[in-house]
Amino acid sequence: MNLILSCVGRRGYLAKMFRNVDPSVRIIGTSSLKFTPGFHDCDENYVLPPIISDEYPEAVIQLCREKNATSLLSLYDADIDRLSRFRTEISACGTTPLLVSDPVSDRCFDKIQTAAFLGENGFSTPLTFADLESAEAALLRGSLTFPLMVKPRFGFGSAHLFRAHTLEELRVFFHYRKNMIIQQLIHGQEFGIDLLSDLNGHAISVAVKRKLAMRAGETDQAISVRNEQLESLAVNIVNILGAIGPFDMDVFITEQGPCVLEMNPRFGGGYPFSHLAGADHPGKILRMLRGEALDLEVGVKKDGLIAMKEIDFRVGEPKSKPFSLPSPTHQNGAKEPD
């Protein structure tokens, strides 16, 4: 079995997790940079064109074809959003794309669509505004109160995230860059939820962790927990979405109950916490790709497991090859003239 980890970045530990389940699985890593830490843990590595380039989708499709890839899994938001538009072409290569459809991608990565989807389906989420005028009107009515969060509509992590305490700050932060949104600040205990869905969009695993510390928008310390309310909520959301593959969700428990903040259709940066507590989503993915039907497994196996991240270093340049598309040809096979 050949598995492509697209945009492997610093997630080399996922290659190790798959290999620990089945050493015969060949892991192929991709990136637009040759100095990619995760390359050290993959069996083969390829440097592809930038995600935003016109050549990128065809390069990924060609790599799937040449490497006879069993499946492709992306670890980066912008990559998932781009490749979700090419699921049919990837499937035509005989490669199973563990990628959500483009409508699901839009509902996850566009925070206005996220809020609309959650609200329409009866799930609590922070009041969210795409324009300053509507937010100011809500402040005057009293339905919105300071402090407020101002962040990119299509952002991820903690980049360009601001807390506004006054109307002046709100206006400055909103005009900091294009496509900013305004959200009510939520108070409560934050939880991260790791899910996995089958190829039909049905949840087959859910694991909850309580966040103890954050760093750069990712979970830095956490404790695994059983919480039936959050487990049920998360499963319902991904089933309604019809999400495929790994899924990550951030939820606050407030005085009014659970409030969903973020949804990401990928392995979350905090997945290793759930893995250490027994989730084993890589193992379930391999079983799923081999055609095994999996029932929903709810909750972590090790409740109360505390874990934390540490900094590590990789020495030396990882082995990688540039991957380019074949030269254009005429129908008779002759190369295009210079």
- Write out pLDDT tens, residues 187-241: 999 999 999 999 999 999 999 999 999 887 788 999 999 999 999 999 999 999 9
* Residue 336: predicted pLDDT: 35
Q: Would you say residue 163 has pLDDT above 70?
A: yes
What pLDDT, on a 0 to 100 scale, did the predictor assign at position 327?
Answer: 60
According to CATH, where is 3.30.1490.20 located in the chain? 127-184
User: How confident is the model over 100-126, as a mean pLDDT?
Assistant: 98
pLDDT at 120: 98
Do 146 and 165 meet the contact criterion of CB atoms below 8 Å apart? yes
Q: Is the pLDDT of residue 109 over 80?
A: yes
Is pLDDT above 60 for 330?
Answer: no
Average of pLDDT values for 83-103? 98
Indicate the CATH number for domain 127-184: 3.30.1490.20
| Mean pLDDT confidence for 88-92 | 98
Q: Residue 312's pLDDT is what?
A: 87
Q: What is the mean pLDDT of the chain?
A: 94
Does position 178 have pLDDT exceeding 80, yes or no? yes
CB–CB of 263/114 below 8 Å?
Answer: yes
Structural fold of domain 2-99+314-322: Rossmann fold (3.40.50)
Torsion angles phi and psi, residue 60, rounded to 5: -65, -45
CB proximity list for 33: less than 8 A, separation 6 or greater = 47
Residues of the chain with CATH 3.30.470.20: 189-304
In the predicted structure, residue 338 carries a pLDDT above the cut 80: no
pLDDT band at 302 (very low <50, low <70, confident <90, very high): very high
Please compute the mean of the pLDDT values over residues 298-306 and round it to a whole number.
94
Domain with CATH 3.40.50.20 in the chain: 2-99+314-322
pLDDT of residue 157: 66
pLDDT confidence tier of residue 78, bands split at 50, 70 and 90: very high
Mean pLDDT computed over 315-320? 92
CB 318, CB 36: distance < 8 Å? yes
pLDDT digits (tens, 9 = 90+) for 28-69: 999 999 999 999 999 999 999 999 999 999 999 999 999 999
Binned at pLDDT 50, 70 and 90, residue 333 comes out as very low
**Topology of domain 189-304, CATH:** D-amino Acid Aminotransferase; Chain A, domain 1 (3.30.470)
Q: Which residues contact 154 (CB under 8 A, 6 or more apart)?
A: 109, 110, 111, 179
